[in-house]
Amino acid sequence: MNSDGAADGAPDRDSAKDWDWDGDGDGDWDRDRDREHRRDMLAEVHRERDRLLPLRAEATETTIELMRTSTGHVSEPDLVPYLNLMYLLTVKRAYGDDQLLAFALSLANWAVVAIDEVAHHTGRTAEQVIDQYETEIMAARESNPPEEWETGSIPETETDSD
């Protein structure tokens, strides 16, 4: 057995430079490293899910609040990102990074379901719905760059003028 636990005569990782299955010049250890990396990432995801699970109910309630508030202002599209950012910052400041991560996960889950529902009701695939929104968003950015992001100004709302 060599230092990597392989049978005698098989190259170890240090001498594998001339033994290269995938042609990238470093030996064919990439698949093992990739597999190990995926296994490590999956284990981390499971640990984080278990750790964040107790925060799910509150994150879902906050998501519902945000959806009700933000969708009530879709006629003011410049305001919606600020409302969403306000929710994110409030969660982060009031509850910390774990609750923020739980909230972000809840929002991502809602987004996936919403896109799937739009696709279902319009007879398209989710990929087609995403492509449409991506195209529209990119076209809007090109034709009308958000000057308020450059200047740092926030659109005035009814409560700001009081």
Q: Give residue 144's region: left, alpha or beta (phi > 0; psi -120 to 50).
A: beta
CA quadruple 18, 21, 22, 26: dihedral, nearest 10 = -30
DSSP string covering the chain: --TTSPPTTS--GGGGGG--SSSSSS-TTHHHHHHHHHHHHHHHHHHHHHHHGGGHHHHHHHHHHHHHHHHTTTTSTTTHHHHHHHHHHHHHHHH-HHHHHHHHHHHHHHHHHHHHHHHHHHT--HHHHHHHHHHHHHHHHHHS--HHHHH------TTTT-
CA 101 to centroid of chain Cα atoms:
10
Q: Which residue has the higher pLDDT, 82 or 24?
A: 82
**Is the whole-model pTM more than 0.75?**
no
**Per-residue pLDDT at 75 exceeds 50:** yes
CB 103 within 8 A of CB 63: yes
Asked which of 13-27, 58-72, 82-96, 120-134 is least confident by mean pLDDT, the reply is 13-27
As a whole number of angstroms, the distance between CA 22 and CA 32 comes to 12
What pLDDT score does 117 carry? 97
Tokens 């076209």: give the residue: 139
**Per-residue pLDDT at 26 exceeds 90:** no
In Å, what is the CA distance from 10 to each residue of 5, 53, 102, 149?
10, 46, 47, 59
